[in-house]
């Protein structure tokens, strides 16, 4: 890993990041989610035959037998399903995992079955591996695309003579989609769903940001959705209003306990927070947001003793299925308040608990200033005055690279240094004065940009950073928006050359204390290759970038056009006594 992104004294190699995840989870706060040991390596068994010889010897009691069946869905499509039945009279509770990487891969969810007394089931989702169904499914853009199959599979399990009526679902990352979805079905036999680092609506959360196609869009190919080819830019087909309705409906009379996890540099976190916000008040949701990326923990400290003061003691899924442990009365979110992973002795770097999300905060604007500053005061100069706009040229054939953040499930995600980008001519940068006291933010970060361009459509990328005293520019949040989706256009018309438009951007959520002497940073450019689709600077669809023109972007910051970033400011917390030391 490049030393300019993660300095040697503070980070680990990519290999270490993968190895450290299991260690970090072992010491993680004691909300007992079904964290799986294979996180970050979700596809390692893809394509391998379903040879369960070693699995039966290592993960199940002697005498466990495997039945291979095909389970019929309501439309007649049959799904490949393997049932691991332990010795004994039964009936038994059932631990269920279904996913997109093959049934052998999904058997990572068998953790907790070694002692017996529990059935384990794995199933291929429709149209992948050994299950029937349509390839290139258009319904995958819908927010309820797996709900019927989850419901039908649960119905089938509950009717079997070896099932005692209690079912739990488990899975991580891509295999965590289905337990995330199933928790919204309100099935009477699904007593607990335990997805980790995942999302119930991947097309929406992994596919797009503010309508701009994310690099994670390509992951949808695992689900049989067609992600290849097509015109540029890719325009979204998600139905956000319907998704919010599904979440709201799932909060009413839901018998399923949901435990879920994410990380501030993970691909899944905003989905976890949205689900908690919708279900927590009326349901039983227990979530944890760590400082992790998808494939590891970038050396942030963990609490000594591995526990968080005030954290709910939630029984592990396999224990709860067997009647061990009670569910706390209130939903709870444990979230990590980051600081500097390069200076663990500074402020931040501890866990907090809450039963509501978002937590109360004071939205505070920091305005882009002439000369590259960032301050709480609005610019006073009138539009068109000297220094009230800054321009750069965005060339689709020479895009700026993505550096860290939460754009990928690979080990390069995390709090990377953004300084290499500042050497480019297509990047502009704004920074505050050094903070005179610590600043704590918790919640959704927003950006409002006033922009103009000489092309009918294009993308604008915003990165929010924590600038350390030595210049290290740690990425916190990043997002994108297309000019066509400006407030004045709403996707219906192209931009007019030279006209100023207002872009509103959701950078998603974070929690951090910026130490005294640190500075706030905002980086703006036209591309972030890998994180977002490279835009062809065309309103009408094109097939490639061969004839893509170079665009002139202008960012405006005046009294009439006050471009700003809005931060959710909260009171600065004193660190807990068991703040802990860096992960090893």
What secondary structure letter does DSSP report for 216? G
pLDDT given at position 136: 83
Angle at 582 between CA 578 and CA 584, to 5 degrees: 120
Higher per-residue confidence, 41 vs 330? 330
Does some domain include residue 576? no
Does some domain include residue 127? yes
pLDDT given at position 515: 97
pLDDT given at position 580: 66
Domain at 373, CATH number: 2.60.120.260
Does some domain include residue 296? yes
* Mean local confidence (pLDDT), 277-292: 96
Confidence band for 41, pLDDT divided at 50, 70 and 90: low
pLDDT given at position 386: 87
Q: Which of 290, 319, 312 is nearest to 302 (CA)?
A: 290
* Mean local confidence (pLDDT), 311-336: 95
Confidence band for 19, pLDDT divided at 50, 70 and 90: very low
Contact at 8 Å (CB) between 468 and 434? no
Q: Edge-to-edge strand order for the sheet containing 78-85?
A: 65-72, 78-85, 119-124, 92-99, 163-172, 190-196, 257-265, 284-293, 332-337, 350-354
Q: Which of 233, 192, 276 is nearest to 538 (CA)?
A: 233
pLDDT tens digits for 367-415?
Answer: 999 999 999 999 999 998 888 999 999 999 999 999 999 999 998 999 9
Residues 370 and 372: their CA atoms lie apart, in Å, by 6
Confidence band for 5, pLDDT divided at 50, 70 and 90: very low
Confidence band for 46, pLDDT divided at 50, 70 and 90: low
pLDDT tens digits for 166-207?
Answer: 999 999 999 999 999 999 999 999 999 999 999 999 999 999
- Residues 349 and 394 reside in one and the same domain: no
pLDDT tens digits for 455-481?
Answer: 999 999 999 999 999 999 999 999 999
Lowest mean pLDDT among 22-31, 32-41, 373-382: 22-31
- Residues 297 and 175 reside in one and the same domain: yes
Q: What is the dihedral of CA 494, 497, 501, 507, to 10 degrees?
A: 70
- Residues 314 and 413 reside in one and the same domain: no
- Residues 308 and 392 reside in one and the same domain: no
Contact at 8 Å (CB) between 251 and 216? no
Q: How many folded domains does the chain comprise?
A: 2
- Residues 315 and 378 reside in one and the same domain: no
Residues 221 and 128: their CA atoms lie apart, in Å, by 10
Does some domain include residue 57? no
Q: Compute CA 84 distance to the chain's CA centroid, rounded to the nearest angstrom.
A: 32
Residues 258 and 370: their CA atoms lie apart, in Å, by 48
pLDDT tens digits for 517-549?
Answer: 999 999 999 999 999 999 999 999 999 999 999
Contact at 8 Å (CB) between 457 and 481? no
Confidence band for 47, pLDDT divided at 50, 70 and 90: low
Q: Which of 215, 212, 210 is nearest to 529 (CA)?
A: 215
321, containing H or E segment:
helix 317-321
Confidence band for 443, pLDDT divided at 50, 70 and 90: very high
Domain holding 263, by residue range, is 14-38+62-201+238-354
* Mean local confidence (pLDDT), 302-330: 89
Lowest mean pLDDT among 307-311, 348-352, 470-474: 307-311
- Residues 284 and 371 reside in one and the same domain: no
- Residues 521 and 549 reside in one and the same domain: yes
Does some domain include residue 583? no
- Residues 387 and 520 reside in one and the same domain: yes
Does some domain include residue 219? no
Domain at 68, CATH number: 3.40.50.1820
Residue 38 scores a pLDDT above 60: no
Query: Considering the chain, what is the average pLDDT of its residues?
Result: 90
pLDDT given at position 18: 32
288, two tokens = 């944890």
Residues 402 and 530: their CA atoms lie apart, in Å, by 6
Does some domain include residue 574? no
Q: Could you say which of 332, 354, 376 is where a domain stops? A: 354
pLDDT above 90 as % of the chain: 79
CA–CA distances in Å: residue 540 to residues 235, 493, 548: 11, 10, 12
pLDDT given at position 407: 94
- Residues 350 and 391 reside in one and the same domain: no
- Residues 417 and 552 reside in one and the same domain: yes
Q: Could you say which of 302, 327, 354 is where a domain stops? A: 354
Q: Could you say which of 354, 382, 416 is where a domain stops? A: 354
- Residues 388 and 526 reside in one and the same domain: yes
Does some domain include residue 51? no
CA–CA distances in Å: residue 505 to residues 210, 341, 462, 508: 6, 27, 9, 9
CA–CA distances in Å: residue 44 to residues 47, 64, 216, 225, 356: 9, 25, 18, 21, 37
Contacts 24+ apart (CB under 8 A), 343-346: 343/515, 344/300, 344/301, 344/581, 344/582, 346/513, 346/515
pLDDT tens digits for 59-96?
Answer: 999 999 999 999 999 999 999 999 999 999 999 999 99
Q: What is the dihedral of CA 26, 30, 36, 40, to 10 degrees?
A: -70
- Residues 289 and 389 reside in one and the same domain: no
Q: Compute CA 441 distance to the chain's CA centroid, rounded to the nearest angstrom.
A: 19
Residues 70 and 153: their CA atoms lie apart, in Å, by 11
pLDDT tens digits for 139-165?
Answer: 889 999 899 999 999 999 999 999 999
pLDDT tens digits for 108-148?
Answer: 889 889 989 999 999 999 999 999 999 888 888 999 989 99
């Amino acid at each position: 890993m490049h030393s300019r992104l993660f300095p040697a004294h503070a980070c680990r190699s990519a290999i270490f990041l993968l190895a450290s995840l299991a260690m970090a989870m072992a010491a993680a706060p004691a909300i007992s989610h079904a964290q799986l040991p294979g996180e970050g390596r979700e596809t390692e068994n893809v394509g391998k035959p379903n040879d369960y010889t070693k699995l039966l010897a290592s993960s199940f009691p002697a005498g466990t037998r495997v039945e291979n069946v095909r389970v019929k869905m309501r439309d007649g499509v049959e799904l490949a399903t393997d049932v691991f039945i332990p010795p004994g009279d039964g009936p038994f509770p059932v631990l269920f995992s279904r996913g997109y990487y093959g049934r052998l891969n999904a058997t990572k969810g068998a953790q907790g079955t070694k002692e017996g007394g529990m059935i384990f089931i794995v199933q291929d989702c429709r149209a992948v591996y050994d299950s029937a169904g349509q390839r290139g499914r258009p319904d995958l853009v819908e927010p309820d695309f797996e709900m019927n199959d989850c419901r039908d599979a649960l119905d089938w399990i509950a009717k079997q003579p070896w099932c005692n009526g209690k079912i739990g679902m488990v899975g991580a990352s891509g295999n965590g989609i289905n337990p995330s979805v199933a928790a919204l079905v309100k099935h009477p036999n699904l007593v607990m769903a335990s997805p980790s680092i995942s999302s119930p609506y991947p097309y929406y959360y992994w596919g797009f940001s503010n309508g701009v196609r994310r690099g994670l869009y390509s992951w949808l190919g695992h689900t049989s959705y067609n992600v290849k080819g097509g015109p540029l830019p890719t325009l979204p087909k998600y139905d956000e209003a319907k998704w919010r309705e599904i979440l709201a409906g799932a909060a009413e009379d839901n018998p399923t306990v949901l435990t879920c996890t994410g990380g501030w540099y993970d691909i899944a976190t905003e989905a976890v927070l949205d689900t908690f916000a919708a279900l927590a008040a009326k349901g039983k949701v227990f979530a944890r947001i760590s400082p992790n990326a998808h494939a590891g923990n970038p050396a942030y400290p963990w609490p000594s003793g591995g526990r968080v003061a005030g954290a709910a003691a939630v029984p592990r899924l396999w224990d709860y299925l067997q009647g061990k442990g009670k569910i706390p009365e209130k939903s709870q979110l444990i979230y990590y308040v980051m600081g500097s992973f390069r200076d663990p002795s500074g402020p931040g770097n501890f866990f907090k608990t809450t039963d509501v999300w978002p937590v109360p905060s004071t939205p505070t604007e920091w305005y882009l200033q002439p000369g590259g500053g960032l301050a709480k005061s609005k610019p006073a100069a009138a539009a068109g005055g000297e220094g009230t706009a800054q321009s750069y040229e965005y060339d689709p054939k020479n895009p700026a690279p993505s550096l860290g953040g939460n754009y990928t499930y690979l080990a390069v995600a995390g709090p990377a240094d953004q300084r290499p980008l500042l050497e480019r001519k297509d990047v502009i940068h704004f920074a505050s004065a050094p903070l005179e006291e610590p600043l704590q933010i918790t919640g959704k970060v927003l950006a409002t940009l006033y922009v103009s361009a000489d092309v009918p459509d294009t993308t604008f990328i915003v990165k929010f950073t924590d600038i350390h005293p030595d210049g290290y520019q740690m990425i916190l949040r990043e997002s994108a928006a297309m000019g066509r989706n400006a407030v004045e256009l709403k996707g219906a018309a192209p931009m007019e050359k030279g006209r100023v438009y207002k872009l509103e951007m959701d950078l998603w959520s974070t929690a951090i204390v910026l130490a005294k002497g640190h500075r706030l940073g905002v980086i703006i450019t036209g591309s972030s290759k890998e994180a977002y689709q490279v835009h062809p600077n065309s309103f009408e669809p094109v097939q490639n970038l061969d004839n893509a023109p170079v665009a002139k972007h202008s960012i405006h910051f005046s009294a009439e056009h006050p471009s700003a970033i809005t931060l959710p400011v909260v009171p600065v917390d004193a660190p807990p006594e068991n703040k802990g030391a860096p992960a090893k």
